Amino acid sequence: MVVYSKPGCHLCEDAVALVGQVCADLGVTWREVDISGDAELMHVYGEQIPVTFVDGRQHDFWRVDPTRLRTALTA
């Protein structure tokens, strides 16, 4: 589970909090990646952040649906 984010992004802060809670509940390891220092990631994902990935595949962007995330993480 990975969350792409950048500083100053209020949606990112919300997503990180939600992902942290869901992953803690399920015992799933996750990490946050700050894309602001990577020009390629900013080009690809800069307008969509926060972007979440589950098992290496893009799962959500902008807003994270906790029910959908739980389902993906327990599938």
* Domain ranges, residue 30: 2-66
- Residue 63: what pLDDT? 95
Q: What are the tens digits of pLDDT across the range 32-43?
A: 999 999 999 999
Q: Is residue 53 part of a domain?
A: yes
- Residue 10: what pLDDT? 96
Overall domain count for the chain: 1
Q: Is residue 39 part of a domain?
A: yes
CATH at 24: 3.40.30.10
Q: Is residue 72 part of a domain?
A: no
Q: Is residue 62 part of a domain?
A: yes
Mean pLDDT of the chain: 97
Mean pLDDT within 6-17? 97
- Residue 46: what pLDDT? 95
Backbone phi and psi for residue 37, each to the nearest 5 degrees, phi listed first: -95, 5
Q: Is residue 73 part of a domain?
A: no
Distance CA 12, CA 32 (A): 10
Q: Is residue 31 part of a domain?
A: yes
Mean pLDDT within 19-34? 98
